[in-house]
Chains A and B, each alone.
Chain A
Amino acid sequence: MDAIEVKDLTKRFNSKGSVAAVDHLSFRVAESEIFGLLGPNGAGKTTLIKILTTLLKPTSGMATVAGYDVHTEKNRVRESIGIVFQEPALDWRLTGRENLDFHARMYEIRRGEREKRIEEALKLVELEDKADIMTDKYSSGMKRRLEIARGFIHNPKVLFMDEPTLGLDTQTRRRIWDYIKEVNARERITVVLTTHQMEEADYLCDRVGIMDHGKIIALDTPRNLKDLISSDLVSLELNMEGSSNDVEVFKSLDFVTEFREHNGFVTLKMERADLRIPAIMEVAKRAGIEIISVNLRKPSLEDVFLHFTGRRIRE
């Protein structure tokens, strides 16, 4: 069974319905994968998450989470999910531990189990020694970590995270990524996250859906998405004093789609350059060309987004 199934889902905010925030979306998320929704602000990611977490009613279409319909089986869905909201949703009058305890009780986890789970969760996000401090004294990184802990404490099947590292510094972001990976691996929880950071989607996600204007315009593994635009660039720096400068030999390679030469540098465009470099070196060696350095540039998800939308993602 898929963790999430979305069919023809649409959400319009005003009744006249000129603009759809989510526009006839269909996709599936497999169990225990980390699924990313990547897109600029206003693409409809948060709206989609709100529908999947029962906080908003869809205008039309259907969606199931853990096999339950988000509209007709709200409470079943709520039992099966954990959520890390974009904005902090902690009670600042309570300590970190009390916030987790509140949550665990709301989900009716029994006492013994509750204490065990809270300890484990605090340990995973490394907040054990800050657990008994009021959360209004927490930094934003600590708040986010506590919310991640809270998100999986009740053994949900799917954990939703809306921009989990928004507004955090690079170092904290790295740590949050590692926690997310660990929760996913250790608890075997399906993770669905939204982001507008390419790096985040690339590093974390098994599959990425690129969203723009309420639609998913491309959906695949980060690797395949990048392959899709297939334009790795290989730059070779040549020793012009070497025995041969017959750069024309590179043109004879059938995988090279573009060839440029400038001031001792040769730039080749090809697909999957990581697999081609040995062949390039082989040809160069046979032709007696001396290579000083090789530079391979992979396309980024940013290039992928640019490719599909003609625009760059901006904050």
Chain B
Amino acid sequence: MMGISWQAIYVLWLREMKGMWRAKSRVIGSLGMPMFFLAFLGLGFGGASIPGMPEGLQYIEYLTPGIIGMSMLFSSVFAGISVLWDKEFGFLKEVMVAPVSRLSIVLGRTAGGSTVALMQGIMVLFLSTLLGFKIAGVIPVILSLFFMCLISVTFVGLGLVFASVMRDMHGFPLIMNFVVFPTFLLSGALFPIGALPSWLIPVCYLDPLTYGVDGLRGVLLGAGASDFSVLLNFMVISAISIGMVSVGSYLFERTEVER
């Protein structure tokens, strides 16, 4: 196993950036769903009393970190799985025969996919202010970027895991329905997980996004808004993101381009 090639990581990242820039309209279009969620859920439940929600918070405030997490979850998993598109279009072979370690390839892709997801997270954050979300200052935003990075790395890693075990894109809807949506819904993005039946709560605690969203709430809304401390959230999601990328690289290492 060779070491890490920074040049390869950089060029894989650069490729992702160029791809994103050329698909600007699609990147912006993908903000549609999170914005609709924010607008309509925020409006619809704005006046409702939601069990378990911290005192003194507007629902839009509670919801925004959750929707940031959601949009990053979707775009990160998709970025990871899109290795399968490269496989389909043949470009993966060009990458696989290059004299760089598989780890560098995984890191390059993760960097690229995470950057795209991060941009979307930031855009959702700023757009949410139009719907009444108040940003408390520069430091909360900077701290939230750390959480956004960790969320995106985690789920790009998860996407790479799927890409390594799947043959082609046909399984993607299944992954969306049975992995991505439950991850979103059980993360406490829309409502406090304390409101769920007690047997379901441990499942929520296994969900990496729970810690991401809770961490975002902690840094953006103040310590009173999160279930766990910011530090605990940070440590848990950091550990998960490292684990996820490691599993992703391990599985990716073992895939042959063709069997």
Contacts and interface: CB of A to CB of B under 8 A. Distances in A.
Q: Is B one of A's binding partners?
A: yes
A57 B255 CA distance: 12
Contacts of A54: 97
Nearest to B86: A91
Interface stretch (A103-111, A123-131, A164-172, A269-277): A103-111
A55 B257 CA distance: 6
A135 to B, nearest CB: 10
Interface residues of A, number: 30
Contact of B2 (A13, A75, A106): A75
A55 B99 contact: no
Contact of A91 (B91, B98, B100): B91
A252 B20 CA distance: 80
A85 B96 contact: no
Contact of A85 (B10, B93, B99): B93
A90 B86 CA distance: 9
Nearest to B19: A93
A79 interface: yes
B11 A85 contact: no
A92 B99 contact: no
B98 A107 contact: yes
Contact of B15 (A53, A87, A102): A102
Given A56-B256, A94-B18, A108 B5 contact: yes
A79 B8 CA distance: 14
B146 to A, nearest CB: 29
A55 B185 CA distance: 41
Contacts of B18: 93-94, 98
Nearest to B21: A93
B97 A53 contact: yes
Contacts of B15: 91, 93-94, 102
Nearest to A150: B94
The A contact surface, by secondary structure, is: loop
A57 B254 CA distance: 12
Contacts of B2: 75
Contacts of A107: 98-99
A204 to B, nearest CB: 23
- Select the residue from A13, A91, A107 with max chain B CB neighbours within 10 A: A91
A85 B93 CA distance: 8
Contacts of B5: 108
Contact of B11 (A75, A90, A93, A102): A102
Contacts of A98: 18
Interface in B88-118: 89-101
A81 B22 contact: no
A83 interface: yes
B97 A55 contact: yes
B129 interface: no
B99 A57 contact: no
A181 interface: no
Contact of B98 (A50, A56, A76, A78): A78
B30 interface: no
Contacts of A85: 90, 93-94
Contacts of A185: none
Contact of A50 (B22, B91, B101, B258): B258
Contact of A93 (B22, B92, B99, B258): B22
A288 interface: no
Nearest to B2: A75
A108 B7 contact: yes
B256 A89 contact: no
Nearest to B257: A55
A196 B54 CA distance: 72
Contacts of B91: 89-91
A106 B93 contact: no
Contact of B99 (A78, A88, A105): A78
- Select the residue from A56, A57, A90, A93 with max chain B CB neighbours within 10 A: A93
B19 A55 contact: no
Contacts of B99: 75-76, 78-79, 106-107
B256 A106 contact: no
B58 to A, nearest CB: 41
A88 B19 CA distance: 19
A4 to B, nearest CB: 16
B230 to A, nearest CB: 38
Given A56-B256, A56-B258, A78-B98, A92 B93 contact: no
B11 to A, nearest CB: 4
A200 B18 CA distance: 38
Interface of B: 2, 5, 7-8, 10-11, 14-15, 18-19, 22-23, 89-101, 256-259
Given A76-B99, A89-B91, 9 more contacts: A55-B96, A55-B257, A78-B99, A81-B97, A89-B92, A102-B14, A105-B11, A106-B99, A108-B5
- Going nearest first, the 6 A-B pairs with the smallest beta carbon separation are A78-B99, A89-B90, A105-B11, A106-B98, A79-B99, A89-B94
8 contacts: A88-B89, A90-B94, A91-B89, A92-B89, A94-B18, A94-B19, A103-B98, A106-B100
